[in-house]
Structure 1
């Protein structure tokens, strides 16, 4: 609390009183009865004007409240979702801050040590109404409570992201894939708002496929048994073009304890499956007939699987080449339609498996071998095709991220980290 200046009338009175004392020794010599020279009991100033009858200064009043300025100001609209609240105080300091949402629920946040700012733990909700209850103490430690209100900015273009995997357990080849329902132009901001944490720790990076799909992968395959957490802290982030998101959510998934990798050798016409580096099964297969229907080379990842499915060449741009119902034990490894599956229509007199490549690009085998693979394959398991005459599958055709070198992968990141 600021101490008030002694009133001018009191100061003037004090000067006059001193002057009167001076007249006692230097006034009219013949004046022996002057009261000015006698011992005075008069008060220093009039009662109620800073003095008392005893001559002691009056006690200053207490309880003057501090002057508080809150930003955003009371009634403000369009407030940023992530910026901290700030406080400027004259004649005191902020003791506590409590923020409530429109439902009267407390909002989690932290008051700075100097009491000059308060930051929400999670950015405010777009278009949300909030109340700030601020308690300030004056110099005499007397509290004053101030209540102000504000409304946050609304989203011009709201963006929603979907993620895979969003739980469960996947194989060692599965990247973290995020897809947005609107184009993202501020890619660096989006990358910084999304965090992937692995236990044990591993380095990795984001890579964009167009402006609505971004994926994160480690430099090498995941280590079996890794635990992964993905934080989509998009709320309050400027995603570019006037777009933003309400999302502030975390996802957890695990990497299988079995590092399962199946290698399809087009030349040898075999598929060999290893688990944690140990060969567990080798099956005879038939792959794409060369040169027209060569099977994609490179690394692919198990996406989904069906006990039975219909395969129609028209759905993959091959006209009326085939239309096969109830294809058994079908495991998809590319978006474009490459499967590892069972084949019941093969020539029983001259089985093609291990002998000749006759498919339209899929990896085909007996129903018995296909069922084994179906039963063991998990989403995210690796299927690697070698010795094919076809180039490696595109990195965005399914989850072909591993077909890019680490340098190529980093080149597709806005932050390069």
Structure 2
């Protein structure tokens, strides 16, 4: 019996057909719904393609997991420190952007660290402020994740407000920077660190405390005429001690005048010599405090304020009913306790005391004409120095008597000794 030979091509075709059925349909029990939903197709005449792709290109690799970010303070936190930075813990990426807004929707300026692990506000947060933070992190594939959190800062148990002089304008070469607080400061070192004085040209200087509510900054020597000064009171966020803090974060600018004016009162010779930039411009005959009852303070004083006319009553300075003059002319104050350079119109015209005798109750007085000249030329911060007095030097906190302390004494009154 002859055997029939099956052509090889038919066998090969059967194998290909079976293979094709296996790819397209599987067995009869296959999931026809799944196959119907597939967009993958075998295209006649196509060769070299990868199953499952229409273009024949390899499929894109799967994206990495989105980064996970946790911020401190946590969402909903309260009592957050005003100066603390925001910090981030992150897995699978890096913080790339931080946006902080206050309760009014205003964006808060700040800086993200190079490693993306912290963000610090340019200015400490406001006490009791509510803030919203939008933090964006990206992974190696630049896939972003953004989280939104909210927090509220601490409130101030004892709010401190500072006033400063000078807070602008132009003053003389002897004017210290004077800051007064409306509450006692117990953490003085932190207060000093939060206040900064810079000058152009640069100058060495330091803070000195007079009690717990007043602190002053002066250079080692008088200011140089024409100096520009900036004072930063960056008190917000500073721990001032005893639960005290401040909302203040402000800068002030003032200038030292172009003329270094120094007036020297010589009690012995009964004269006042005024120099401008080292050159004598006027010598005036004066009368000072009657000795020994009313000796004029010795030492360095600074012009504080001036009046065309002012009332002087002895009762206000503890001298009983010695005098009460309603219209003292051209009065220039040089101490808080009541020392003035002023005009005197009530003197004995037949026997003027100026340049001859010391007859005042402690002030430096002169004719109204001479007093007007001094009034017209004197600026706040100008120096008035009294020499050859039998009285001790004026206290450094009586007006602006800072210059009556040596530099070592001045530094001793600083909490930071800087």
Q: Distance in 2 between matches of 1:342 and 1:42?
A: 119
Q: Could you tell me which residue of structure 2 aligns to residue 397 of structure 1? A: 398
Q: Could you tell me which residue of structure 1 aligns to residue 127 of structure 2? A: 126
SS at match of 1:402: helix
Q: Distance in 2 between matches of 1:95 and 1:197?
A: 35
Choose 63-72 or 398-407, whichever is displaced more: 63-72
CA shift digits 1:100-139 (9 cap, x unpaired): 0111111000001111100000000000000111111123
Q: Could you tell me which residue of structure 1 aligns to residue 364 of structure 2? A: 363
Q: Could you tell me which residue of structure 1 aligns to residue 142 of structure 2? A: 141
Instruction: Check conservation: 2:296, 2:389, Cα contact below 8 A.
Output: yes
How far the C-alpha of 1:175 sits from its partner, in A, is 0.2
How far the C-alpha of 1:63 sits from its partner, in A, is 6.2
CA shift digits 1:238-289 (9 cap, x unpaired): 0000000000000000001000000000000000100000000011000000
Q: Distance in 2 between matches of 1:301 and 1:361?
A: 16
CA shift digits 1:196-250 (9 cap, x unpaired): 0010000000000000000000000000000000000000000000000000000
Q: Could you tell me which residue of structure 1 aligns to residue 68 of structure 2? A: 67
Q: Could you tell me which residue of structure 1 aligns to residue 311 of structure 2? A: 310
Unaligned 5+ runs, structure 2: 1-18, 24-29, 35-49
TM alignment of 1:23-172, pairs within 5 A? 61-62=62-63, 64-172=65-173
CA shift digits 1:321-357 (9 cap, x unpaired): 1111100000000000000000000000000000000
SS at match of 2:395: coil
CA shift digits 1:290-334 (9 cap, x unpaired): 001000000000000000001100000000111111000000000
SS at match of 1:87: strand
Q: Distance in 2 between matches of 1:260 and 1:350?
A: 31
How far the C-alpha of 1:64 sits from its partner, in A, is 3.2
SS at match of 2:400: coil
Q: Distance in 2 between matches of 1:59 and 1:379?
A: 77
SS at match of 2:134: strand
Q: Distance in 2 between matches of 1:337 and 1:201?
A: 34
Q: Could you tell me which residue of structure 2 aligns to residue 410 of structure 1? A: 411
SS at match of 2:375: helix
Q: Distance in 1 between matches of 2:210 and 2:217?
A: 11
Unaligned 5+ runs, structure 1: 1-38
Q: Could you tell me which residue of structure 2 aligns to residue 372 of structure 1? A: 373
SS at match of 2:316: helix
TM alignment of 1:256-295, pairs within 5 A? 256-295=257-296
The two structures have a TM-score, normalised by structure 2, of 0.86
Q: Distance in 1 between matches of 2:277 and 2:61?
A: 82
Q: Could you tell me which residue of structure 1 aligns to residue 249 of structure 2? A: 248
Q: Distance in 2 between matches of 1:164 and 1:316?
A: 24
SS at match of 2:415: coil
SS at match of 2:247: coil
Q: Distance in 2 between matches of 1:405 and 1:176?
A: 17
Q: Distance in 2 between matches of 1:330 and 1:301?
A: 14
Q: Could you tell me which residue of structure 2 aligns to residue 322 of structure 1? A: 323
CA shift digits 1:24-44 (9 cap, x unpaired): xxxxxxxxxxxxxxx9x999x
Instruction: Check conservation: 1:301, 1:381, Cα contact below 8 A.
Output: yes
Q: Could you tell me which residue of structure 1 aligns to residue 240 of structure 2? A: 239
Residue 347 (structure 2) pairs with residue 350 (structure 1): no
Q: Distance in 2 between matches of 1:141 and 1:165?
A: 53
Q: Distance in 1 between matches of 2:267 and 2:372?
A: 20
Instruction: Check conservation: 1:42, 1:53, Cα contact below 8 A.
Output: no
Instruction: Check conservation: 1:206, 1:413, Cα contact below 8 A.
Output: yes
Q: Distance in 1 between matches of 2:103 and 2:230?
A: 31
How far the C-alpha of 1:57 sits from its partner, in A, is 11
Instruction: Check conservation: 2:259, 2:277, Cα contact below 8 A.
Output: yes
- Number of paired residues? 375
The two structures have a TM-score, normalised by structure 1, of 0.87
Q: Distance in 1 between matches of 2:396 and 2:258?
A: 25
